Amino acid sequence: MNKKPTLLIALAMTLIFGLQVHSQQGENKEKIKSLKIAFFTERLGLSSDEAAVFWPMYNAYEAEKEALRDAKWKEVYSRIEAGNYSEQEARNILNRYLELEELEEELDKKFNLELAQKFSATRTLLLFQAEHRFRKRLLSEFRKRSGNEP
């Protein structure tokens, strides 16, 4: 692969992460999303036509996943944090948690099979790798900025 796009992405990530944290959370999310798009597009080697197919699929998948995480927070974790629940309520919370976990697993499976069908199994595995590396880099940058580098 050409090293120039990788260098440009690394430079862009460094510049954006180097900005002050004083901006609003929504702005930070948009910056991270832009970095993610550039990072994934480069890692997956997506042409503009392929990107036009991939990103709507991926964004829909991420939106569904986010909705499941929100439901998990509202219906499970916040209730656990509140405490003071009966054994029956605890069972209900546990059952809801397990339902949401199953829904997330089904969503992952559906998305990955669809992605492998539209692109390839190899590119699907590259996406796994890109997601892992992006999260790792993001966490590393966060730790550097907060002074908690391991």
Tell me the per-residue pLDDT of 83-116, one tens digit each, with 9 for 90 and over.
889 999 999 999 999 999 999 999 999 999 999 9
Mean confidence (pLDDT) of the chain: 86
- DSSP H/E element including 128: helix 121-146
In percent, the amount of the chain with pLDDT more than 70 equals 81
Q: Which amino acid is it at 82?
A: A
In 3D space, the residue among 134, 77, 124 whose CA is nearest the CA of residue 100 turns out to be 77
Residue 21 carries which DSSP code?
T
* Residue 96, CA distances (Å) to 66, 71, 73, 93, 110 in order: 16, 10, 11, 5, 21
d(CA 130, CA 143): 20
DSSP code string of 66-116: HHHHHHHIIIIIHHHHH----HHHHHHHHHHHHHHHHHHHHHHHHHHHHHH
> What is the pLDDT confidence band of residue 21, given thresholds at 50, 70 and 90?
very low
Residue 47 φ/ψ, nearest 5 degrees: -75, 170
Query: Does the structure show a pLDDT above 60 at 29?
Result: yes
Q: Round the CA-based radius of gyration of the chain to a whole number and report it.
A: 19
Query: Does the structure show a pLDDT above 80 at 2?
Result: no
